[in-house]
Structure 1
C-alpha cells in the first residue's frame, strides 16, 4: 500500500471520528488527544488547537488545562508563538524559550509553568479561518527534528477533516463561544483596572500580576478575574 495507502486509511479514520463525535468540541478534543499521545516519545507534551475567525482566537481543544492556559496568555496580550504561526501561516519552533529574545515577555509570563520548548504549526482551515496546532514541552530534548517532522505531518493530515468539521459545526459553535470570549475579555479588563487601582501600577504590570496569580493558582485567566472582582466588591461592602 505504501504511504498513499496509509494516508487514505488515516483520512478514513478521521472521517469516522468526525461522524461518530457528538459535536465539534468533542471531535476537536479527540484530535488533540491523538496529537498529544502520539508526540514526545513517552515524555509528556501538552497540545492544543487554536482557531481564529474575524480576529478572535479560541482554543477549541486542549489535551490539558495547562495547554489552554498557555494559549490564553497569548490571546490576552494579542501576541505569541501560536498566534504568530496561525496569522503568518508559518511554523514557529522555539527549542529554548529562555534564550529566545523574540519571546522574552511571554517567557516571563509562563515561567512558573516550566515549559521551555514550543512548537506551533499552521493548519490550513479554509477561507476566513486560521488555525494552528500548538505543542508545549518541559523537556528541551523532546522537540528534535523527528518530533517537528511528526507534528508538521499530523497538522497536514488533519487539514481536510478540520475544514469539514468547521464547515459543519463552526457556525453554531462560534456564536456561543465568541459571546463567551467577549464576556471573558470584559471581565479580564475590569479585573486589570481593579489591580491597577489597588496596587497603584500601570496596565501592563497589572495584567502581569493578574496573569501570574491565575497561573500559580491553577486557574484560567477569566476565573481569576472573577475572583478579583468579587474580592473588590466584598471590600466595598457590596457582597
Structure 2
C-alpha cells in the first residue's frame, strides 16, 4: 500500500507539472492518459473520450488499440465509456460478464487482448466533458480500490483542467483587451490629428478614417497607426 501511495503521489505531481507546462488541451489530455496508467494498478492502456455535439471522439490515448476499442463504442452509441459519460458514474467491467450488454465492444476488446475496462466520467466545462478510460490486459475486472483511485484521480484532473483552461482563457481575454485598448488609443490619436490639421469635427474625422479603411480594405487600426506614424515623421527634426 505504501508503494502504491508513493506511485499515486508521484503521478499527481507529474500531472500537475504537465498541466502547468502544456500549451493546449490536447497536450494536457495526453498527460492525463499517461499518468492515469500509473495511478491505477492493472491499467495497461488509457484513453480520454470527449463527447461533443457531433458525437464522441477519442481525444488522447496511450496505445492505438484503445482508439479501436473506443471507436466500436461510438459506432454502437453505447459502451462503458459512453455509459460513464452519460450517467456521471464509474463503470467497472470484466469482459467475461459484459458480452450481453456490449457484444461488439467485448469482441473488439478481446481481440486487442483486453480483459477489463474501467471508465470514469470527466466533466470540466461546457466545452470539455466525456470519460477517462482504462484498459487492463488481465480479466480481473479491476477492484473497488481501483474505482476509488480513478475517482480521486479524475477529481484532481477535473480541477486541474478547469483551473488551467480558465487561466488561459483569462490570459487570452486580457490579450484581446490590451489589443483593443491599444487600437482605441491609436485611433483617438489619428482622429485628433485629422481634426487639428483639417479643422473638422470628431464625427467627420472618424468618418474619413472609416472611409479609407473600407476603400483600401485595411483594418481601421492600421489606417490610424499609419496616419500617426506619418504625422510623427513630418514633425521629426
- What band does the TM-score fall into relative to the shorter chain? 0.5 to 0.7
Q: Does 1:86 align with 2:85?
A: yes
Cα–Cα, structure 1 residues 165 and 56, in superposed 2: closer, same or farther, change >3 Å? farther
1:53 positional shift:
1.8
Structure 1 stretches (4+) deviating beyond 3 angstroms?
9-16, 164-169
Cα–Cα, structure 1 residues 110 and 82, in superposed 2: closer, same or farther, change >3 Å? same
Aligned to 1:125: 124
Aligned to 1:58: 57
Which deviates further from its counterpart, 21-30 or 153-162?
A: 21-30
Q: 1:46 and 1:17 mapped to 2: Cα distance? A: 19
Aligned to 1:97: 95
Q: 1:44 and 1:151 mapped to 2: Cα distance? A: 10
Output aligned runs, 1:69-218, within 5 Å.
69-94=68-93, 96-100=94-98, 101-127=100-126, 129-141=128-140, 143-165=142-164, 168=168
- Where structure 1 has 5 or more consecutive residues not aligned to the other structure, the ranges are 1-8, 170-239
Report the secondary structure of 2:114's partner residue. Answer: coil
Given that 2:30 and 2:61 are in contact with CA atoms closer than 8 Å, whether structure 1 keeps it comes out as: yes
- Where structure 2 has 5 or more consecutive residues not aligned to the other structure, the ranges are 1-9, 170-237
1:195-230 deviation digits (Å, cap 9, x = unpaired): xxxxxxxxxxxxxxxxxxxxxxxxxxxxxxxxxxxx
Q: Which structure's CA Rg is the greater one?
A: 2
Aligned to 1:29: 30
1:121 positional shift:
0.6
Tell which has more relative contact order, 1 or 2 (C-alpha 8 A, sep 6+).
1
1:15 positional shift:
5.1
Which deviates further from its counterpart, 129-138 or 13-22?
A: 13-22
Given that 2:19 and 2:161 are in contact with CA atoms closer than 8 Å, whether structure 1 keeps it comes out as: no
Q: 1:146 and 1:63 mapped to 2: Cα distance? A: 22
1:148 positional shift:
1.6
Q: 1:128 and 1:28 mapped to 2: Cα distance? A: 14
Which deviates further from its counterpart, 28-37 or 55-64?
A: 55-64
Aligned to 1:217: none
> Could you say what the CA RMSD is over the residues aligned between the two structures, in angstroms?
2.8
Given that 1:93 and 1:119 are in contact with CA atoms closer than 8 Å, whether structure 2 keeps it comes out as: yes
Given that 2:22 and 2:28 are in contact with CA atoms closer than 8 Å, whether structure 1 keeps it comes out as: yes
Cα–Cα, structure 1 residues 112 and 36, in superposed 2: closer, same or farther, change >3 Å? same
Cα–Cα, structure 1 residues 72 and 164, in superposed 2: closer, same or farther, change >3 Å? farther
- How many pairs are equivalent? 160
Cα–Cα, structure 1 residues 38 and 59, in superposed 2: closer, same or farther, change >3 Å? same
Q: 2:44 and 2:149 mapped to 1: Cα distance? A: 13
Aligned to 1:201: none
